[in-house]
Amino acid sequence: MMQHIATQGPSASPIFGNGERANRLKSTKFGGRLVNDYWDNLFSAREQGKMVVWYNGTYIPPFFHAHDLAWVHGEAWSAYLAAKHGEIPAQKAGEQWGYDRELCSYARTHIGQALIDLQKLNDGTLGIAPDDPRAETMRKLPAPDMIINAYPYCSSGQQWDDITYRLFGKKVPMFTISIPLLWGGRTDAGYLRGDEWNERSRYVADQLMAMTRFIEEHSGRKYDFDRLSEVMSYVKRAAELRLEAMDLCTTTPSPASFFDWIVSIAPVNFLPGDQNLVTYFEGVKAEIQQRIASGEGAVKDEKYRLFFDGMMNWNKVGWLADKFAAVNACVVAGRYTHMSFWQEPQLIDLKDPVLGMAQNYLICPNNHGAPIMIGEIEKICEKFNVNGMVMHASRTCRGMTNSQFLIADSAKRNGRQALFFEGDVADESFYKDELLNTRLEAMIESMDAQRRAA
């Protein structure tokens, strides 16, 4: 039995296993600076004379960037607050307004803090001092001039934006893009192929074109498609570098882990498409190459290679990275990191990028019927030589949890261990550390037994 000691308070590192910490990539620090710059820039959008779009869902900011709009990704705002452990007052405020705790905690945080609290702050009834640092953060988020929703698979996103629309008195223009599920039921269906794929690619691309007309109408300026191509040239190059760097992590020991890719999500998800994005992933790739040359792993004495399924628990990124490192387990890949975010950049034709952008939005892993999605997960597990799967059952994100029992069954059929643990995207109260400790310990023992028997 490995040493198993109770954990300390929520902000301490977990004392578990051998006490080793994750060996994180240093190059990702540049991403932290870019994220801070992005928020600072956003907070001054009004002074810069920019219109502000609030959007939810997939990575459509290049459309805003190309038109010189400022953008707020609802999920990113909630994750930002959660990563800074500033989400709890927002969630309490949301509950007081009647939003159920089972509602998506991204939505609950965004609505609760960035809207309700902002309104209360403005009319002096927030209930916290105006000079409280939390009030300062809330006050900074500029209100929307437009709302755009582009959510594959999950309907919570549309309802979240509908609530936002109502909170602003039904006056902010709203545009909703339907990104339909790829059922995969036709005989010619498969990953990136078949009639359904072609029809739905065109269907989403047509809506994106309609969105540019909506943006034109509400900004009073003509949409610049040359600029969109230019922005996408950076996004496409960054996506290629990211995938090349990820592929290098098939090496043993893996030079980077799922948690390094988690902290690299902001650049491909919502940061501006410019040279900084390319520089960021060039830096990540170079560090990974250098680690391979020197035999340095993301986890000391890597013994087990795991796949992480489920949405990230943003309160716990460092905590979880250390927890797995402490049992010599490297989480080498994940559904959230390795199957989303400009995953097929070769589909993007820079002369006419909209269709390829639509196709990348469609292949969000949740947006495939389960057999195709699970087939793709298994390919990744084979490629990265995965021994076990960790299923983060995020309590309020059903979008990611719906297929998890099928994914775990498939893992077991393919000789991989699987464990479930509870948590949530932006609500720390659902995470149970002791549960994960016990199950991780049991999984490690099973993997050892499996090896001894082989």
Least distance in angstroms from the C-beta of 394 to ligand SF4: 7
Decide whether 257 or 366 has the Cβ nearer to ligand SF4. Answer: 366
The two three-digit tokens of residue 250, written as one number: 């098939």
Tell me how far, at minimum, the Cβ of 57 lies from ligand SF4, in Å. 7
Give the span between the Cα atoms of 285 and 244, in whole angstroms.
8
Q: Taking the complex as a whole, how short is the minimal distance between the CB of residue 230 and ligand SF4, in angstroms? A: 30
Examine residue 177 and tell whether it contacts ligand SF4 (CB under 6 A): no
> What is the smallest separation between the CB atom of 398 and ligand SF4, expressed in angstroms?
6
x/- binding map, residues 36-65, to ligand SF4, per CB under 6 A?
------------------------------
104 binding ligand SF4? (CB under 6 A) = yes
Which residue from 38, 31, 85 is spatially nearest to 64, judged by alpha carbons?
A: 38
Among 332, 425, 443, 447, binds ligand SF4 (CB under 6 A): 425
17 binds ligand SF4, rule: CB under 6 A: no
Task: Please tell me the distance from the alpha carbon of residue 377 to that of residue 368, in angstroms, as a whole number.
Answer: 12
Of positions 156, 229, 359, 417, contacts ligand SF4 by CB under 6 A: 156
Show the tokens assigned to 95.
């509950």
Report the residue closest to ligand SF4, judged by CB.
399
The smaller minimum CB distance to ligand SF4, of residues 296 and 422, is found at 422
Instruction: Give Cβ neighbours of residue 346 (< 8 Å, ≥ 6 apart).
Output: none
Token pair recorded at residue 439: 């199950």
154 binds ligand SF4 (CB under 6 A): yes
Q: What is the footprint of ligand SF4 within residues 293-312 (CB under 6 A)?
A: 311
DSSP letters spanning 161-181: HHHHHHHTTT-S-EEEEEE--
Measured CA to CA, the distance from residue 253 to residue 140 in angstroms comes to: 43
Classify 349 as helix, strand or coil. coil
Place of tokens 């954990």: 7
**Binding of ligand SF4 at residue 262 (CB under 6 A)?**
no
CB 110 within 8 A of CB 157: no
- Positions in the binding site for ligand SF4 (CB under 6 A): 104, 106-107, 154, 156-157, 311, 397-400, 425
